[in-house]
Amino acid sequence: MSQRNTIGKSVTSRSATAAHRTVPAPGLAGQGLTRRDFLRRSAAAAALLAAPSFVYGAVARAAAARPVKVGVIGSLTGAVSVWGRVTRDGATLAAEQINAAGGILGRPVELIVEDDASAPDVGTRRARKLVLEDNVDVLVGVNHSGVLLSILEQLPSLNRVLIGTCATSAEATVQRFNKYFFRVHSNSDQEGMAGALYAAQFPYRRWSVIAPNYAYGYETWGSFISVLKALRPDIEILDVQAWPAFGAPDFTSHITRLRAARPDAVVSAMWGGDAVNLIRQMQRFRFLDGIALFSPAALALDVLYALGEEVPENLHSNAHGYWFEAPQPGREAANQTFVQAYQARFGEYPHSTAHATYTALWAFKQAAEQAGTTDTAHLIAALEGLEVQFPGYKGYLRKEDHQIVHDQAWGRTVAAPDLPFRRRITDLRWFNGEDITPSVEQVLRLRESGDRPDYYRYIIGA
């Protein structure tokens, strides 16, 4: 049983006739998910509750052309459930705005949201279901790199484009590139490179890591530390490293062991609930008194909302690629409009993943209208090289690997009494998108050889 919401065409548009006024999605935010999950287990209620949404769908079809269906995949339950929620929220806001502006190719957008539960097999089933049963025109989202790498294999046989908006595993656009996958979020190579360039300015000499033991953890640490080692040959990479399982709630013994190895700085690739647990436990054990922490995702907004003042100052992060207060110069107005619209709709500031997913839908609209169709082959051609206007920055989808290239900034936390979570990221240093992205030749070479990146030698014991 899946959640199906037709987001109505603009009710503000004067030319819209009464027949065009379909019911706006009441359940997409907040309650929608829980209702869906409840339905899954109560068939009787499902029959009753599903009836009205079927009627809405019928009205929409009668009133307008066949809707353009977008399948949204996110981790809506489990350790990173907030990331799934903001994936859905970003898509919802974009769909509502796109429908208010006349839809895509004059057709309304319909979102169908599925939960992958951070499990590769579930994600694969959901992707197949979205294409084979719901016949969606395009897939967007995916938070977990393991899920992404698994869905990737299915795309050619499903003949659909997936626009990735969160999971950063570089493998997906390098060694395991396939033409159906585009990513409008920075990948682990870019985050690692930018992070290392940023970290190189600090005097820290002894480095270690705490990261989940799968693709995202390995690639984030590997790209970061290999670049840092090249920039700063004087650093020491410790043998004592912590590679807990994704979703393991207790890191105290990992923290104890790491601290005993006396690192100056630690890279963390923890995210979601894991990052909440990690920072809280590090704080309780006074781990961060004297050890610096560098982490892309550990200071994404979900962690700040969960921990607030428990987040110490002077943690280093890129807020997973987007800090809502700091757009690139020239994007201030667009960013402000987005932040305000998002706040008005969901009552919170936009998470980096909401920002990317919101952008993915607009990029899809742009490409589909450029191609004049949502047909997959034409869509791929239109997406290749597409200039993408994020609220916070501009970028382009590189033709050869379908990876977005945009500038990104790293900074550190300071107290911010004016924000609900009382912390902000400041002292941002921006890095040029092209400088932090491996060259096309390098990507193609790795794709052909299929080799693991060299940096796996810095991963001890995982």
Partner 1 sequence: MQGMLGTTRIFGAAAPAGARLLWAGLGLPAVAGVGHAGHVHHMMDHSVVDAAGTAGVDWQLYATLFLNGLSEASHMYLVAVGLSLIFGVMRVLNLAHGALHIAGVYVAVTLLAWWGNWWLALLLAPLAVAALGALIEVGLLRPMYGRPPTYVLILTFGIVLILHDVLKIGWGVDYKILPEPPALAGVVDILGVVYPVSYLFGIAVAAALGLLLWLFLARTRPGRIIRACAEDREMAASLGINVPLVYTGVFTLGAFLTAFGGVLMGTIMATSAPEALDTMLYAFAVVVIGGLGSFGGAALGSLLVGQLNAFGLLVMPEWNMAFMFLAMALILVLRPRGLLGRGGA
Footprint of partner 1 on 123-152 (CB under 8 A): none
76 binds partner 1 (CB under 8 A): yes
* Position 68, amino acid: V
Q: How far apart are the C-alpha atoms of 116 and 447, rounded to whole Å?
A: 27
* CA separation, residue 32 to residues 61, 95, 131 (Å): 22, 16, 21
Q: How far apart are the C-alpha atoms of 385 and 132, rounded to whole Å?
A: 29
Q: Which CB, 250 or 375, lies closer to partner 1?
A: 250
Which one of residues 121, 387, 451, 454 is an interface residue with partner 1 (CB under 8 A)? 454
Q: Which CB, 82 or 388, lies closer to partner 1?
A: 82
43 binds partner 1 (CB under 8 A): no
Q: Which of residues 193-212 bind partner 1 (CB under 8 A)?
A: 193, 197-198, 200-206
Which one of residues 77, 178, 366, 376 is an interface residue with partner 1 (CB under 8 A)? 77
284 binds partner 1 (CB under 8 A): yes
237 binds partner 1 (CB under 8 A): no
Token digits for 377?
Answer: 């082959």
Neighbours of 347 (CB within 10 A): 10
Q: Which CB, 198 or 358, lies closer to partner 1?
A: 198
Q: How far apart are the C-alpha atoms of 18 and 9, rounded to whole Å?
A: 11
219 binds partner 1 (CB under 8 A): no
Which one of residues 290, 347, 372, 385 is an interface residue with partner 1 (CB under 8 A)? 290
272 binds partner 1 (CB under 8 A): yes
213 binds partner 1 (CB under 8 A): yes
Which one of residues 96, 189, 219, 401 is an interface residue with partner 1 (CB under 8 A)? 189
Taking CB under 8 A as the binding criterion, the range among 106-114, 123-131, 274-282, 367-375 that sits at the site for partner 1 is: 274-282
Least distance to partner 1, CB of residue 427, Å: 5
396 binds partner 1 (CB under 8 A): no
Exposure b/e, 123-143, CB count within 10 A at least 16 = b: bbebbeebbeeeebbbbbbbb
Least distance to partner 1, CB of residue 230, Å: 5
347 binds partner 1 (CB under 8 A): no
407 binds partner 1 (CB under 8 A): yes
CB of 221 closer than 8 Å to CB of 459: yes
What does R_g of the chain's alpha carbons equal in angstroms?
22
367 binds partner 1 (CB under 8 A): no
* Position 10, amino acid: S
Whose structure tokens read 């379908």? 402
Least distance to partner 1, CB of residue 21, Å: 30
CB of 195 closer than 8 Å to CB of 410: yes
| Total residues in contact with partner 1, by rule CB under 8 A | 91
Neighbours of 17 (CB within 10 A): 9
Token digits for 430?
Answer: 């921006």
241 binds partner 1 (CB under 8 A): yes
Which one of residues 24, 37, 370, 384 is an interface residue with partner 1 (CB under 8 A)? 37
- Which residues have CB under 8 Å from 149's CB, separation 6+? 120, 169, 171, 172, 176, 215
Which one of residues 366, 428, 444, 447 is an interface residue with partner 1 (CB under 8 A)? 428
339 binds partner 1 (CB under 8 A): no
Q: Which CB, 218 or 364, lies closer to partner 1?
A: 218
Whose structure tokens read 């700063």? 232
Helix residue ranges per DSSP H, 2-139: 31-40, 43-63, 81-100, 120-132
Whose structure tokens read 């769909």? 95
Q: How far apart are the C-alpha atoms of 246 and 269, rounded to whole Å?
A: 10
Q: Which CB, 198 or 322, lies closer to partner 1?
A: 198
Taking CB under 8 A as the binding criterion, the range among 5-13, 21-29, 133-141, 409-417 that sits at the site for partner 1 is: 409-417
81 binds partner 1 (CB under 8 A): yes
What stretch of H or E contains 388?
A: strand 387-389
Least distance to partner 1, CB of residue 378, Å: 30
Which one of residues 103, 146, 321, 438 is an interface residue with partner 1 (CB under 8 A)? 438
368 binds partner 1 (CB under 8 A): no
Taking CB under 8 A as the binding criterion, the range among 93-101, 103-111, 136-144, 277-285 that sits at the site for partner 1 is: 277-285
What stretch of H or E contains 428?
A: strand 423-431
Q: In what order do the strands lie in the sheet with 394-397?
A: 387-389, 394-397, 404-406
Least distance to partner 1, CB of residue 165, Å: 19
121 binds partner 1 (CB under 8 A): no
Taking CB under 8 A as the binding criterion, the range among 44-52, 122-130, 255-263, 378-386 that sits at the site for partner 1 is: 255-263
Closest CA relative to residue 383, chosen from 144, 164, 134, 129: 164
Helix residue ranges per DSSP H, 322-439: 332-346, 352-371, 376-383
